[in-house]
A = this chain, B = another copy of it.
Amino acid sequence: MAKTIPISLDAMGGDHGPEVVIPGAEVALVRHPDIRFLIYGNEKVVLPILDRYPRVKEASTFHHCDVSVAMDAKPSQALRQGRWRSSMWRAIEAVKTEEAAVAVSAGNTGALMAMSKFCLRTMANIERPAIAAIWPTTRGESIVLDVGATIGADAQQLIDFAILGGAMARALFSIEKPTVGLLNIGVEEVKGLEEVRTAGRLMREVPLSSLTYSGFVEGDDIGQGAVDVVVTEGFAGNIALKTAEGTAKQIGGYLRAAMSRTLMSKIGYFFAKSAFDRLREKMDPRKVNGGVFLGLNGIVIKSHGGTDAEGYAAAIDLAYDMVRNELTQKIAHDLVHYHRGGIARAAKNSEGDQ
């Protein structure tokens, strides 16, 4: 039997804390009985819930923490109050000490990223971490990054994101050489941001061995699955992600209203119910819950704060897949090849040319 996968959980993160985290862990554990959990949280709240989920209790070690990071805490405040001793910090720290292979938290994104950076540090040769989202497309799924770790990115950082996202696509989708596109406005080479154009030129001039660079993509190409990995800086990436979520919600609302409007449409709904269920499942944001922090010395998964047990389990599933498919090793491997390729130097030199 393969060895177990140790996953650390910040039980206090999210709108519902352990009321969602522990049942979520149960759901994931049924699917992956080889997970072992390291659970961090306040014993007064967590232990009674653990008693109701003996399977999770059996498969985990619990660690009491006095401090919980508030959902509205500013990153600096979270670091000041929660460093060393909060459930969030200690879940991340377990990755640093290699007790856990990956950490999962539904806590606030800014605090989680600040603590992850502080605790795990950025990888050598990577300037900034990114948050990668899994985006459902008409072809299956794509990876989009950065969806909000940092605002702005220069050409070198965009190429870093391409490598990180490419490694994640290899780990998650089992594609040997994923296609990567740079998010831009207009597909002609002449258009768009200077740094996006520079990154595109460099990736064409010095091809990366781990991926296929496919050129620029536009906002409407993401959902069509035009490429496996969409690279952008965090401001535009976050706006794209939230806009897509908002649009899906809006259309879901139209659909519900249309179906309950007349007797005929209600009858239609009755007959087509299984089709609607399938559609709802396709559009279910819980099924693709989990932002992956890439570029740090260790993997941290951010779950939506407002999700339920099913959604939280999806974030744990993602964490599990990332470890089983050796994401960290793939990134390390790709980075070595990348620096041999000399594209980093080329990027640096060309910045001087601008």
Chain A interface (Cβ within 8 Å of chain B)? 74, 110, 137-138, 148, 151, 183, 185-186, 188, 190-193, 218-224, 232, 234-236, 238-251, 253-255, 258-259, 261-262, 264-265, 267-276, 278-279, 282-283
> Is the Cβ of B253 less than 8 Å from the Cβ of A138?
yes
| Cβ-defined partner of A193 (8 Å) among B235, B264, B274 | B235
> Is the Cβ of A259 less than 8 Å from the Cβ of B272?
yes
> Is the Cβ of B276 less than 8 Å from the Cβ of A258?
yes
A268 to B276, CA, bound (A): 10
A-B contacts, 28 listed (Cβ < 8 Å): A138-B253, A185-B234, A185-B239, A185-B242, A193-B235, A219-B240, A219-B241, A220-B243, A220-B246, A221-B246, A222-B246, A223-B247, A223-B250, A243-B244, A243-B247, A244-B247, A247-B248, A247-B251, A255-B255, A258-B276, A262-B275, A264-B272, A264-B274, A265-B272, A268-B268, A268-B272, A268-B273, A269-B272
> Is the Cβ of B219 less than 8 Å from the Cβ of A243?
yes
> Copies per complex?
2
Q: Apart from A151-B193, A267-B268, what are 16 other A-B pairs with CB-CB below 8 Å?
A: A183-B239, A185-B238, A185-B239, A220-B245, A221-B246, A222-B243, A223-B243, A251-B283, A254-B279, A258-B276, A259-B275, A265-B271, A265-B275, A268-B268, A268-B269, A268-B272
Cβ–Cβ < 8 Å partners of A224 in chain B: 246, 249-250
What is the distance, in angstroms, from A219's C-beta to the closest C-beta of chain B? 3
Residue in A137, A239, A273 whose Cβ sees the most chain B Cβ within 10 Å: A239
Cβ–Cβ < 8 Å partners of A265 in chain B: 271-272, 274-275
Known: A219-B239, A240-B240, A245-B219. A262 touches B274 (CB 8 A): yes
- A242's nearest neighbour on chain B, judged by CB, is B219
The A contact surface, by secondary structure, is: helix
A182 to B221, CA, bound (A): 25
> Is the Cβ of B249 less than 8 Å from the Cβ of A220?
yes
> Is the Cβ of B186 less than 8 Å from the Cβ of A110?
yes
A240 to B220, CA, bound (A): 9
Cβ–Cβ < 8 Å partners of A148 in chain B: 185
What is the distance, in angstroms, from A139's C-beta to the closest C-beta of chain B? 10
What is the distance, in angstroms, from A226's C-beta to the closest C-beta of chain B? 9
Cβ–Cβ < 8 Å partners of A251 in chain B: 247-248, 251, 283
A272 to B151, CA, bound (A): 45
A224 to B246, CA, bound (A): 7
> Is the Cβ of B236 less than 8 Å from the Cβ of A239?
yes
What is the distance, in angstroms, from A73's C-beta to the closest C-beta of chain B? 11
Q: Which 8 A/B pairs are nearest by Cβ-Cβ distance?
A: A268-B272, A219-B242, A220-B246, A268-B271, A265-B275, A219-B243, A223-B250, A223-B246
Cβ–Cβ < 8 Å partners of A218 in chain B: 238-239, 242
> Is the Cβ of B264 less than 8 Å from the Cβ of A268?
no
What is the distance, in angstroms, from A160's C-beta to the closest C-beta of chain B? 20
Known: A74-B190, A251-B248. A235 touches B185 (CB 8 A): yes
